[in-house]
Amino acid sequence: MHNFDDIFWRYKDKVYSKVLLTVWNAWDAEEITQDIFVKIYFALPNFKEDSNINTWIYAIVRNTCIDYIRKKKPESIELDEVIDFLWEEDNLLSKIESADIIEHIFSFLLIEERNILILKYHEWFLITEISKMLEIWESNTKKLLWNARKKFIHYYEINYENQTA
């Protein structure tokens, strides 16, 4: 049997990071993280020991974040601390030298476009994994990623290409 306190202390930072990458707002991320741990607390007695606890927790995180996104309008989601996550080497966003530029370009993208760029280029998920997380066909995932990249690059070229070169 798993102990809730152990689960909380082991997963609290991982859960918060995943939520923050999804909701783009530290305040909301804290609230949602609390909700997730309340769900885990009440669902823990029904957890099947033959299942993987990591997968089970991730499913709760994913489903709770999806519920949040469905309720929240994309225009009202703000970027803040998540900019720090985007400075990984060898990805689409690392070539841009200013967090303000990324924030500005992301303001033109839909939440789905922002999320897929982060999942692919920051989290390094495969298309098949992203498809499962978003619960959409792989072909739709590829199309969404292609459109998000195209839109991101388009806004970058229009607004910043000559400034950062």
Name the residue type at position 27. W
Question: What residues contact residue 53 under an 8 Å CB cut-off, 6+ apart?
Answer: 2, 7, 47
| Average pLDDT of span 37-59 | 88
Better-scored residue on pLDDT, 97 or 155: 155
Provide the whole-model pTM.
0.47
Tell me what pLDDT residue 86 has: 40
Tell me what pLDDT residue 153 has: 79
**What is the set of domains in the chain, with CATH numbers?**
4-74 (1.10.1740.10), 79-164 (1.10.10)
Token pair in block for residue 67: 């519920």
Sign of torsion, CA 41 125 137 106? positive
SS3 165: coil
Tell me what pLDDT residue 19 has: 85
Tell me what pLDDT residue 40 has: 94
Tell me what pLDDT residue 116 has: 85
Question: 115-154 burial by CB neighbour count: b if 16+ within 10 A, else e?
Answer: bbbbbbbbeebeeeebbebbeeeeeebeebbeebbebbee
Tens digit of each residue's pLDDT (9 = 90 or more) over 69-85: 767 644 433 443 333 33
Sign of torsion, CA 27 130 148 88? positive
| Average pLDDT of span 94-101 | 62
Tell me what pLDDT residue 76 has: 36
| Average pLDDT of span 54-77 | 73
